[in-house]
Amino acid sequence: MAKKTYDAVVLGGGPGGYVCAIRLAQLGLKTACVEEDEVGGVCLNWGCVPSKALISTAHLYEKAATASEVGIQVDGIRIDAAVMQDWKNKIVKKLTGGVRTLFKANGVDLIEGRGRLASASIISVQTRSGEAIEVLGTKGVVVASGSETIEIPGFKFDGQRILGAKEAVSLRAVPKRLCVIGGGVIGLELGMVYQKLGSELTVVELTSDLLPGTDRDCVKVVERRLKKLGATVFTKAKAEGFDTKPDGAVAVRVTTEGGPQTIECDVVLVVGSVNSSNSVRLTEIARNVGTPAYLLDDAAGLAQPDDLARRGAIEDVDRAERAGARAPAAGEQRHRPLPEDGLGLVFAVGPGQGV
């Protein structure tokens, strides 16, 4: 197996990982960043950035469609979803290309492949070309693996009718009827995009309110807007499964407080994500780490908890923006007083949209 050695290795090239890798290189460390898919992570490629591009298009479309109310006559307005997606992809390509340029300018080596912790200082990588390599970080490893989409029972993704958020930002046709399972931020953002572009929207949320954890007064504003646009909303409802009808439509079976319901739609968007730390063996390694293991705290300093495994490895970072803001601290900790044997493991950022 081929081996590569660096001062520091960052696992994950999202807004936490790539910012941290650049800062480490700026501070004089020979640095590599391991990324399985595309630099920029979920945020730049399938989350924050593309969703906001689609939101801006939907907003413009809605304004144009109602412009006659203020005396502006717009005739024959229609949406070309394929052109919209091409425009969005150009934005994404420009931003991810910028990250690659920053890597090159600052001397960060990008290793493209699936990485997993082999030990507290070694990342094993299966590269895109199929080569297996070991990447050693002699002074430290930063884990910024972010999150990954999860499937819920009974709704296996097929890329056509049953979709996750990653596929939903790339639809090249607006579905006539859309059912969103999960009434959180991502589900409502994407659901309302396609609703404004012409979809009949139904939202199914397991908890008692949309946008769980959000101030109730704010939620009411969103609910009113959804219903004004014609959405059907089910709360305290569980999606049990679906059947495919002869005409290709999807009939989603839902259990509600008022009894069972069947929602007919053309596309189902299932929203949910989970911390990727276990898939890269972070918790397993944390239990057996023999070198110092550190956790970035809210003050962007270093803590050294004895209960990493019990805590599920790392703190929550629930937005990509917060991860990007905190990531430089992971690099700068290397230049504060630390044990003589190096930094060990740094768990820099955790799960969330775009991380």
Mean pLDDT of 252-266: 96
Model confidence, pTM: 0.82
Closest to 169 (Cα-Cα) out of 269, 280, 39, 319: 269
pLDDT digit string (tens) for 101-125?
A: 999 999 999 999 999 988 878 999 9
What is the per-residue pLDDT for 141? 86
DSSP state of 333: G
Domains annotated for the chain, with CATH where assigned, are 2-45+85-149+274-347 (3.50.50.60), 162-271 (3.50.50.60)
pLDDT digit string (tens) for 120-139?
A: 789 999 999 999 999 999 98
Closest to 351 (Cα-Cα) out of 315, 305, 299, 321: 315
Mean pLDDT of 222-242: 96
CB proximity list for 256: less than 8 A, separation 6 or greater: 234, 236, 237
Please, what is the Cα angle at 183 between 180 and 185, to 5 degrees? 110
What is the per-residue pLDDT for 276? 72
What is the per-residue pLDDT for 354? 29
Pick the most confident of 101-105, 149-153, 279-283.
101-105
Q: What CA–CA distance (Å, rounded) separates 347 from 295?
A: 5
